[in-house]
Amino acid sequence: MLLSGCSLEGFGDTFGHFGWPGKGITLQAHRMYDLWIASVIAALVVGFFVWGLIFWCVIRYRKRGDELPVQTRFNMPMEVLYTVTPVLIVAVLFYYTAIVQTDVDKLSKNPDQVVEVVAFKWNWQFNYRDGMGAEANTVASTVGSSDVIPILVLPTGEKIRFEETSRDVIHSFWVPEILFKRDVFPGDVRNTFEITLDKEGRYVGRCAELCGTYHAFMNFELVAVSPERFDQFLQAKQNGQTTQQAMAAIGFTGDKAYATTTQPFNTRRQKNSWNQNGAVASGAGAAATAGK
């Protein structure tokens, strides 16, 4: 069943993905999804078998009189069976988990795109790089601010390598639809992973590591487009256009040039007023924000 992803997806569809958020939008996510559905099916098979045994015993060996049944101490074949079977089940689950995990963590020698993820309190910068490692150069960049959600445009069907670094504390890069997150560390550590997107669309991204006061506001948006449109976007950025102008250049005009899956939050970052509802420090900027 693991080999036939389609039937697993059909099965998952029928039963609401058995608690998973969905099939995901990357090749790696699909493999994790298949592992999850197959594991649930295995668990259900074991479950129904055990429930069947329980009910069979309840009925077959129900009390029929005052005479005590045979008081057998143990049954060697049964003891062996219910020791070996769970070990086998765990071994099979472990085997497929290791296979999928290795696949998800796999780094290719020549990724098609390299994106440096720079996290900081409390926003994101995404640098499109001309190679791998800290020595490579940034050819284009997008960054979020208090007013604008950072947008990360990426192509479908290409191997995209992420290299993560933080300017201050530990953050975590997470797009729920990728079914994957990875911590972003400060210092010399560059956490790396790769994905291949296979579904165009716009998806919200979040920080998944409590990093401070405005952690919950640390959102970004992943925009997955065709490779042709991605090339146009990158070209526009390299020509010095803003992210919103470059978005317009690939057809996302007007409001669509900005994030559509999330919005900037009012962080009320005025001096001395950050946690006092309405009691805002004096000053024109503070007054303008009060009550919003």
Closer by beta carbon to Cu ion, 207 or else 234: 207
Collect all residues with Cβ–Cβ distance below 8 Å to 251 and sequence separation of at least 6: 229
Which residue number, 173 or 193, has a Cβ lying nearer to Cu ion?
Answer: 173
Question: Could you tell me the smallest distance in angstroms from the CB atom of residue 150 to Cu ion?
Answer: 13
Q: Which is nearer to Cu ion, 18 or 214 (CB)?
A: 214
How many residues can be counted in the chain?
292
Helices (H), 111-256: 227-238, 243-249
Characterize the bridge pairing of strands 151-155 and 219-225: parallel
Cα–Cα distance between 16 and 21 in angstroms, integer?
Answer: 9
User: Is the distance from CB of 161 to CB of 192 less than 8 angstroms?
Assistant: yes
DSSP H or E stretch at residue 105: helix 76-105
Residues 6+ apart with CB under 8 A from 2: 8, 34, 35, 38, 96
Q: Which is nearer to Cu ion, 32 or 178 (CB)?
A: 178
Nearest alpha carbon to residue 247 among 260, 232, 269, 261: 232
Nearer to Cu ion, 35 or 117 (CB): 117
Nearest CA to 274 out of 217, 221, 220, 210 is that of: 217
Smallest gap from residue 174 Cβ to Cu ion (A): 10
Indicate the residue among 156 and 172 with the shorter CB distance to Cu ion. 172
Closest distance of CB 219 from Cu ion, Å: 10
Q: How far is the CB of 211 from Cu ion (least distance, A)?
A: 3
CB of 201 to Cu ion, least distance (A): 24
Q: What's the per-residue H, E or C state across 215-282?
A: HHHCEEEEEEECHHHHHHHHHHHHCCCCHHHHHHHCCCCHHHHCCCCCCCCCCCCCCCCCCCCCCCCC
Cβ 271 to Cu ion, closest distance in Å? 23
Shortest distance, position 111 Cβ to Cu ion, whole Å:
25
Task: Give whichever of 211 and 280 is closer to Cu ion, judged by the CB atom.
Answer: 211
- Residue ranges binding Cu ion (CB under 5 A): 171, 207, 211, 218
